[in-house]
């Protein structure tokens, strides 16, 4: 069976060229009229500000095809919708492997998006991605209403035939015969960004998509209570980022391997996840304190370490852990936590400047706690946000020698003395450190919304001098890599 992937979107703003409106409108209209055929292996139709790129790729087994189509510079919604419809008309396969929309669309385009989603479902898509925000999260975006998926599209007990009829009548797209009972049997991955979800919609998606393995949600402010009490046997990856209205998360997924969360301080109950090895716990300081009440039967805790406590039972089995230390004060909690014997990869994020629990000194103490509790830790990542406070100094604490830590990565490096001293302190307690990677770019956001960001206040000369100083202080056996081109 032949499978295709359809991606329709734009490049991000930092690489998009700028052109006059008249030229752009003209070339966009010509692009829509262009006929690009799927049978051609490499076909390019290029004009000012617009590049249609269609690549037909065969994998090593010669049983599947990946069909990628990217539209660059399509700044007008009406034209973009026409382009997407044309892409769908050109699809000739019986099975759709991957379908993705990357464009700033909102509820006003809902009638078109509904048909696109129905198209993907009808062709039994394996990976569905709807990314409707050019900005990191909605509170930086325009004052628009997010698109919301109709319940009928994902409710397995309700038909999507009206949408399929519209595809035929409006777009002249014939879809394969659809077995309503198993129309989601192929959907393995679902990524929704700036798509409005209600509690009911979330529950219906998990209840209907029983083959779903990975669910990623980003920027759905209307979502308040995530609760799925029926065991979902296939779900192994759940990621929830920047959903500002969340109060409760209750998930029963016995085969969950990875859980990542960045958002409001909320009550989290992950039930019987005996396979869980990858956890990101970043309840953001931006969203205030924990709600006083919850629907999960958990008692109210005012402590900043509450979220840490909720996952403490899983610590002995974790292999990867990411935390924003600004949200925790966990030195006391470590007295109750057993050894994290399986932890191989630890990622900690904090501010660079603050002298209190939000700063680099607190992060240093956290490293000391984790190193003591994680005897087989292999890789340590440190992510520093915001410019440093030049008046801070690192006061060394006693940290036992660590034999297994081999790699250290530092992002958000400003070249300040306290960061240099921190790196040297890590080197001093490691016995067989092999590699240190450093970048001035901040890479500490698990949602990738604010990554690849280098602060404008950075002193490039200071960074160069600090890197040179580290080179001189490190022995030859330690490979020191500075990843930036300054």
Most confident range, picked from 29-33, 61-65, 67-71, 456-460:
456-460
Average pLDDT over residues 217-236: 91
Read off the tokens for 475.
């022995």
The whole-number pLDDT of residue 104 equals: 85
> Cα(36)–Cα(87) distance, rounded to whole angstroms?
9
What CA–CA distances, in Å, run from 326 to 23, 446, 463? 49, 15, 25
Write the pLDDT tens digit of every residue in 468-483: 999 999 998 999 999 9
> Cα(110)–Cα(147) distance, rounded to whole angstroms?
6
Write the pLDDT tens digit of every residue in 353-400: 666 666 888 899 889 989 999 999 999 999 998 877 777 888 899 999
Average pLDDT, the chain: 78
Considering only residues 68 and 367, tell me which one the structure prediction assigns the higher pLDDT: 367
HSE-up of residue 218 (Cα within 13 Å, Cβ side): 21
What CA–CA distances, in Å, run from 357 to 331, 363, 422? 11, 8, 16
Q: Confidence band (pLDDT; 50, 70, 90) for 35? A: very low
φ, ψ dihedrals at 73, nearest 5°: 85, 10
Quick check: 450 pLDDT over 80?
A: no
The whole-number pLDDT of residue 375 equals: 95
Exposed, middle or buried, 133 (CB in 10 Å: 0-12/13-18/19+)?
A: buried
> Cα(262)–Cα(447) distance, rounded to whole angstroms?
8
Contact criterion met (CB below 8 Å) for 29 and 79:
yes
Q: What percent of the chain has pLDDT over 90?
A: 43
Contact criterion met (CB below 8 Å) for 257 and 277:
yes
Quick check: 65 pLDDT over 50?
A: no
Q: What is the pTM of this model?
A: 0.82
Place of tokens 């956290």: 366
The whole-number pLDDT of residue 62 equals: 30
Considering only residues 117 and 156, tell me which one the structure prediction assigns the higher pLDDT: 117
Helix residue spans in 276-338 (DSSP H): 306-310
Tally of CB atoms within 10 A around 433: 21
Quick check: 46 pLDDT over 80?
A: no
> Cα(416)–Cα(463) distance, rounded to whole angstroms?
8
Residues counted in the chain: 486
Lowest mean pLDDT among 105-109, 135-139, 394-398: 135-139
E strand segments, 229-266:
237-241, 248-252, 258-263
Read off the tokens for 314.
């899983």
The whole-number pLDDT of residue 436 equals: 98
Quick check: 92 pLDDT over 70?
A: yes
φ, ψ dihedrals at 482, nearest 5°: -105, 115
Question: At 83, which helix (H) or strand (E)?
Answer: helix 77-90
User: Beta partners for 438?
Assistant: 410, 482
Quick check: 146 pLDDT over 60?
A: yes
Average pLDDT over residues 187-195: 96
The whole-number pLDDT of residue 333 equals: 59
> Cα(109)–Cα(129) distance, rounded to whole angstroms?
16
φ, ψ dihedrals at 354, nearest 5°: -65, 135
> Cα(454)–Cα(458) distance, rounded to whole angstroms?
8
Q: Confidence band (pLDDT; 50, 70, 90) for 70? A: very low
Q: Confidence band (pLDDT; 50, 70, 90) for 332? A: low
> Cα(112)–Cα(278) distance, rounded to whole angstroms?
37
The whole-number pLDDT of residue 12 equals: 29
> Cα(148)–Cα(75) distance, rounded to whole angstroms?
22
E strand segments, 167-319:
189-193, 195-196, 214-218, 225-228, 237-241, 248-252, 258-263, 267-271, 278-283
The whole-number pLDDT of residue 8 equals: 62
Quick check: 335 pLDDT over 70?
A: no
Question: At 382, which helix (H) or strand (E)?
Answer: strand 379-385
The whole-number pLDDT of residue 43 equals: 26
Contact criterion met (CB below 8 Å) for 484 and 435:
no
Write the pLDDT tens digit of every residue in 392-447: 888 899 999 999 999 999 999 999 999 999 999 999 999 999 999 999 999 998 88
Quick check: 162 pLDDT over 50?
A: yes
The whole-number pLDDT of residue 361 equals: 87
Give the DSSP letter string of 91-115: ---SEEEEEEEES---GGGHHHHHH
φ, ψ dihedrals at 272, nearest 5°: 50, 45
Place of tokens 């129905």: 118
Q: Confidence band (pLDDT; 50, 70, 90) for 61? A: very low
Strand pairing category for 267-271 and 248-252: parallel
Average pLDDT over residues 186-208: 94
In the chain, how many H helices and how many E strands? 10, 22
Write the pLDDT tens digit of every residue in 257-305: 999 999 888 888 899 999 999 999 887 656 566 665 666 666 656 555 6
Strand pairing category for 42-47 and 50-58: antiparallel
Read off the tokens for 377.
């830790």
> Cα(302)–Cα(60) distance, rounded to whole angstroms?
55
Question: At 164, which helix (H) or strand (E)?
Answer: helix 161-171
Domains and CATH numbers, the chain: 319-486 (3.80.10)
> Cα(348)–Cα(406) distance, rounded to whole angstroms?
17
Q: Confidence band (pLDDT; 50, 70, 90) for 456? A: confident
Question: At 6, which helix (H) or strand (E)?
Answer: strand 3-9
* CA nearest neighbour of 445 among 319, 326, 293: 326
Tally of CB atoms within 10 A around 169: 9
Lowest mean pLDDT among 22-31, 101-110, 204-213, 414-423: 22-31
What CA–CA distances, in Å, run from 253 to 32, 214, 227, 270? 45, 12, 11, 8
Contact criterion met (CB below 8 Å) for 344 and 370:
no
């Amino acid at each position: 069976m032949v499978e295709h992937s359809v991606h329709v979107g734009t490049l991000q703003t930092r690489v998009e060229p700028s052109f006059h409106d008249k030229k752009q409108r003209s070339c966009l209209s010509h692009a829509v009229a262009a006929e690009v055929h799927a049978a051609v292996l490499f076909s390019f139709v290029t004009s000012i500000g617009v590049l249609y790129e269609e690549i037909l790729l065969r994998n090593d087994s010669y049983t599947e095809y990946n069909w990628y189509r990217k539209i660059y510079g399509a700044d007008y919604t009406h034209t973009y919708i026409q382009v997407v419809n044309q892409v769908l008309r050109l699809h000739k396969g019986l099975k759709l492997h991957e379908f993705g929309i990357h464009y700033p669309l909102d509820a006003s385009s809902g009638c078109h998006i509904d048909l696109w989603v129905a198209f993907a479902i009808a062709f039994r898509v394996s990976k569905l991605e709807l990314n409707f925000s050019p900005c990191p999260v909605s509170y930086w975006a325009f004052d628009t209403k997010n698109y919301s998926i109709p319940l009928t599209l994902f409710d397995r007990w309700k038909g999507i035939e009206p949408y399929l009829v519209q595809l035929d009548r409006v777009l002249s797209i014939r879809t394969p015969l659809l077995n309503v009972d198993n129309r989601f049997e192929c959907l393995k991955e679902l990524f929704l960004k700036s798509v409005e979800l209600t509690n009911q919609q979330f529950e219906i998606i998990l209840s209907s998509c029983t083959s779903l393995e990975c669910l990623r949600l980003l920027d759905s402010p209307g979502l308040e209570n995530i609760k799925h009490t029926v065991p979902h046997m296939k779900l192994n990856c759940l990621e929830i980022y920047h959903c500002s209205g969340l109060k409760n998360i209750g998930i029963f997924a016995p085969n969950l391997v990875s859980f990542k969360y960045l958002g409001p301080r909320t009550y989290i109950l992950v039930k019987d996840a005996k396979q869980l090895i990858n956890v990101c716990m970043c309840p953001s300081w931006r969203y205030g304190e924990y709600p006083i009440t919850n629907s999960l039967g958990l008692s109210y805790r005012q402590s900043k370490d509450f979220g840490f406590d909720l996952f403490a039972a899983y610590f002995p089995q974790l292999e990867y852990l990411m935390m924003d230390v600004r949200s925790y004060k966990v030195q006391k909690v470590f007295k109750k936590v057993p050894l994290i014997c399986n932890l191989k990869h630890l990622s900690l994020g904090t501010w660079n400047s603050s002298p209190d629990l939000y700063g680099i000194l607190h992060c240093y103490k956290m490293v000391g706690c984790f190193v003591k509790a994680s005897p087989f830790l292999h890789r340590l990542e440190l992510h520093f946000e915001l410019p440093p406070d030049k008046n801070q100094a690192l006061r060394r604490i006693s940290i036992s020698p660590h034999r297994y830590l081999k790699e250290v990565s530092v992002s958000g490096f400003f070249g300040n003395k306290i960061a240099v001293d921190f790196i040297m302190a890590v080197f001093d307690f490691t016995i067989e450190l092999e590699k240190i990677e450093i970048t001035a770019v901040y890479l500490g956001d698990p949602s990738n919304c604010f990554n690849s960001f280098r602060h404008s206040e950075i002193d490039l000369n200071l960074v160069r001098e600090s890197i040179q100083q580290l080179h001189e202080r490190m022995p030859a056996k330690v490979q020191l890599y500075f990843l930036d081109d300054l």
